[in-house]
Structure 1
Amino acid sequence: MRLVPIDAVKEGAFLAQTIYNEKGQILLSKGVKINERLKAKVREQGFCSIYIIDEYSQGELDDIIKPQVRQKAVATIRGALNVFADIDNDHLNTFQKKKLEKESEQQLQSMQEVAKLIVDDVFTQKEIMINLVDIKSADNYTYNHSVNTGILALILGIGYGLNKNDLYDLTMGTILHDAGKMFIPKEILNEKGKLDPDKYKIIKEHTTRGFNYLKDNTNINGKIRLISLQHHEKIDGTGYPYGIQDTQIYSLAKIAAIADVYDALTSDRPYRKALPPNEAIEYIMGSGGRHFDMDLVKVFIKKVNPYPVGTMVYLSNNSIAIVEAINNLYTLRPIVKVLKQEGKIVEPFLCDLKKENNIVIAGICYEL
């Protein structure tokens, strides 16, 4: 299967992954045959890309966690964040506030259970690698991004050798890293184009607002709260909210920062299209030692596959090919199946880029 922009999907392709709407309900089921009507339906729900199976790519890729666990996690974070926003209402009477506070405790307990479930499941998969990007619409971005960032941080934390207790805190804290966005006006969060300085200042307040809410209204530990506060701090001191540097930044927040940026870059947003995994990874690598901890970046690039199986690519020798298999430790040089050379369709043949040193991947394409 391969990830394709919705406008590039041809009729007759089959959906490779189930798509869910903002309420967690099935919008389109895996295996459905795509036509123009269904493409329009997907567009209306805010999806810009989908995974398909077509004549070029038949294989499937498994998600890091089971689909039902992911959907449970998304539903749980949605419920919790919405309760957080409701509690932050000055017009509530005492009875209403106590009722919501009790509901908040229940939601956080459910979230901790889900986070533990994810950690316990993924921790056993020592050689795990990220091969998929999570497909989200604009409407469900916040909740899916929270869960996906938690999973990415967990994979990075495992690769970095964290113990299980730290992994629990890391996953829970990263899932909650954007809790403060519930207190930011939606029209600012979803604004297209570059924000003016005043609006950007409000956006940046989500770190302190989330931290303060968690400190004042929950009993979760300080490690988890620090992730929400510091996930936008940068090694060189150019981050926010406090502009602290390197060793001043909590280690788990450094991990969350990389996961947060990678998932954001590979997601469609109101103001820009998603980057393919290879370009997002290049950005992370280029920011190592400035924005991100270099040791963590080195672990990250070993854990996230820039060219998942099924990706259609341009080669430097003027060919088009499909990624067939991954060379471990050499993810930039997979085994590909060549489909087209010098503008002409050819009998498909395999090419191992690990051995063909004079050929490199020049970019990603979506059709021959």
Structure 2
Amino acid sequence: MRLVPIECVKEDSLLGKTIYDIEGRTLLKPGVKLTTSLISKIKELNIFSLYIVDDYSDYEIEDIIKPELRQKAIKTIRQTFTDIERVSLAHDFKKRSISDYSKKEQDYFASINSISEELLDNILSNKHLLVSLVDIKNMDSYTYQHSVNVAVLSLVLGISLKLPKYKLIELCTGALLHDIGKTFIDSGILQKPGRLTEYEFSIIKQHPIKGYDFLSSIYDFNSNSKLIILQHHERIDGLGYPYGIKDNKINYMAKISSIADVYDALTSDRPYKRAMCPGQALEYLMANTGTFFDYELVKVFSRVLVPFPNGTIVSLSNGEIGIVEENFPNFPLRPSIKVLKSIDKNNIGSHINLLDELSIVISDIEYST
């Protein structure tokens, strides 16, 4: 299967991955034939990309976590954020013990911890710690899906760094809740389809502090998880926010979540911006090491990422178009390609191993072949 912008999906293609509604209920199952009317209805759900199966893409792309666990995690985050948003008008961040919370709120906090443990156990059960799937997001539930993706990506990186289990749980919890401060921000600003004004952006930049202050009112909330929430927009060069701290002043786990946060945001469709292809997003991370991101962490992240899964159709810098047939550990941008289209007809069907052909690079992903 392969990921295709919805405007490039051809009639009679087969759906490759389940489509869920905002409540996590199944709308369409894999294998459904995509008619013109069905594609139009999917567009109305604010879904901008689909996994499809066609003549070029009989490869399977597996999610690193079980689909039912992903939906359970999204539902838990949505319920937590929605309830906090409902009571957030008071903005009362005085120190409280867990007994000061309602039974419902206590259940949410317990559920977040439980989800963190389930996500970790599920990922640890995988034989290969590689991420190749870009999650399909419904724009109406973007924040919740994004939160789960950031947690999963953070865990994969944390496991690769051999963090102990208790720190992985702290990392996952902080990543799941990294944007909780946005529940205290005007939704009109958060959902604005166009460019933010300087004033609006200054309001947005308050969300790490608001999230940190809210969770600091809970006496037993872990300090590492809180610092992820507070510092996930800080930069190595000190030009991030909210405090402009740099390098070793930034919490180590916040540095991890920052990479996951930016990668998932770049590879996600938004109403005002189409997704960047995973390869370009990885190149962005690499290009900004030492300024935005920690160099060593990005280097490890690149080893567990498969930006061009088998079955991806790509254009090459030599003008040819091919399909990815094999990926190699530690070289995420240099897979082996089978040529599908070439000016030289003799090259069609031949193989190019980008590990050997260093003068050739992948230029982009092709969708209309």
Q: Same fold (TM over 0.5)?
A: yes
Matches within 5 A, 1:243-258: 243-258=244-259
Q: Name whichever of 190-199 and 1-10 sits farther off.
A: 190-199
Matches within 5 A, 1:311-350: 311-342=312-343, 348-350=349-351
Structure 1 residue 347 displacement after superposition: 5.4
Any idea what SS the aligned residue of 2:300 has?
helix
Encode CA deviations 1:189-238: one digit per residue, 9 max, x unaligned: 11122210110011111101111111114632111111111100111110
Matching residue of 1:30: 30
Encode CA deviations 1:305-336: one digit per residue, 9 max, x unaligned: 22111211012222111111112222211122
| TM-score when normalising by structure 2 | 0.94
Encode CA deviations 1:252-287: one digit per residue, 9 max, x unaligned: 101000000000010111221110001111111111
Gaps of 5+ in 1: 93-97
Structure 2 counterpart of 1:26, which letter? Answer: T
Contact 1:87/1:100 (CA < 8 Å) preserved in 2?
no
Matching residue of 1:58: 58
Encode CA deviations 1:45-92: one digit per residue, 9 max, x unaligned: 111111111011111111000000000000011111111112223399
Are 2:72 and 1:72 aligned? yes
User: How many Å separate the matches in 2 of 1:30 and 1:108?
Assistant: 34
Are 2:130 and 1:129 aligned? yes
Structure 2 counterpart of 1:312, which letter? Answer: I
User: How many Å separate the matches in 1 of 2:129 and 2:58?
Assistant: 22
Matching residue of 2:96: none
RMSD: 2.0
Contact 2:322/2:337 (CA < 8 Å) preserved in 1?
yes
User: How many Å separate the matches in 1 of 2:64 and 2:195?
Assistant: 34
Structure 2 counterpart of 1:317, which letter? Answer: N
User: How many Å separate the matches in 2 of 1:52 and 1:216?
Assistant: 46
Matches within 5 A, 1:161-172: 161-172=162-173
Structure 2 counterpart of 1:304, which letter? Answer: L
User: How many Å separate the matches in 2 of 1:292 and 1:326?
Assistant: 25
User: How many Å separate the matches in 1 of 2:104 and 2:229?
Assistant: 21
User: How many Å separate the matches in 1 of 2:226 and 2:131?
Assistant: 26
Q: Classify 1:221/1:365 alpha carbon distance in 2 versus 1 (closer, same or farther; 3 Å).
A: same
Are 2:182 and 1:181 aligned? yes
User: How many Å separate the matches in 2 of 1:365 and 1:141?
Assistant: 25
Q: Classify 1:86/1:99 alpha carbon distance in 2 versus 1 (closer, same or farther; 3 Å).
A: farther
Contact 1:74/1:147 (CA < 8 Å) preserved in 2?
yes
Matching residue of 1:11: 11
User: How many Å separate the matches in 2 of 1:44 and 1:217?
Assistant: 40
Q: Name whichever of 340-349 and 117-126 sits farther off.
A: 340-349
Structure 1 counterpart of 2:272, which letter? Answer: Y
User: How many Å separate the matches in 2 of 1:113 and 1:222?
Assistant: 18
User: How many Å separate the matches in 2 of 1:101 and 1:67?
Assistant: 31
Contact 1:14/1:31 (CA < 8 Å) preserved in 2?
yes
Structure 1 residue 163 displacement after superposition: 1.0
| TM-score when normalising by structure 1 | 0.94
Q: Classify 1:218/1:147 alpha carbon distance in 2 versus 1 (closer, same or farther; 3 Å).
A: farther
Are 2:289 and 1:274 aligned? no
Matching residue of 1:88: 88
Matches within 5 A, 1:192-271: 192-217=193-218, 219-271=220-272
Identity in percent: 45
Matching residue of 1:361: 362
Contact 1:326/1:334 (CA < 8 Å) preserved in 2?
yes
Structure 1 residue 349 displacement after superposition: 3.8
Structure 1 counterpart of 2:58, which letter? Answer: Q
Q: Classify 1:343/1:76 alpha carbon distance in 2 versus 1 (closer, same or farther; 3 Å).
A: farther
Matching residue of 1:289: 290
Matching residue of 2:95: none
Structure 1 residue 344 displacement after superposition: 6.5
Q: Classify 1:190/1:91 alpha carbon distance in 2 versus 1 (closer, same or farther; 3 Å).
A: closer
Structure 1 counterpart of 2:22, which letter? Answer: E
Structure 1 counterpart of 2:47, which letter? Answer: F
Structure 1 residue 22 displacement after superposition: 1.4
Q: Classify 1:218/1:190 alpha carbon distance in 2 versus 1 (closer, same or farther; 3 Å).
A: farther
Contact 1:204/1:241 (CA < 8 Å) preserved in 2?
yes
Contact 1:319/1:343 (CA < 8 Å) preserved in 2?
no
Gaps of 5+ in 2: 93-98
Structure 1 residue 359 displacement after superposition: 2.9
Contact 1:126/1:158 (CA < 8 Å) preserved in 2?
no
Matching residue of 1:47: 47
Structure 1 counterpart of 2:290, which letter? Answer: G
Matching residue of 1:95: none
Structure 2 counterpart of 1:305, which letter? Answer: V
Q: Classify 1:101/1:333 alpha carbon distance in 2 versus 1 (closer, same or farther; 3 Å).
A: same
User: How many Å separate the matches in 1 of 2:62 and 2:235?
Assistant: 33
Count how many residue pairs are aligned between Structure 1 and Structure 2. Answer: 363
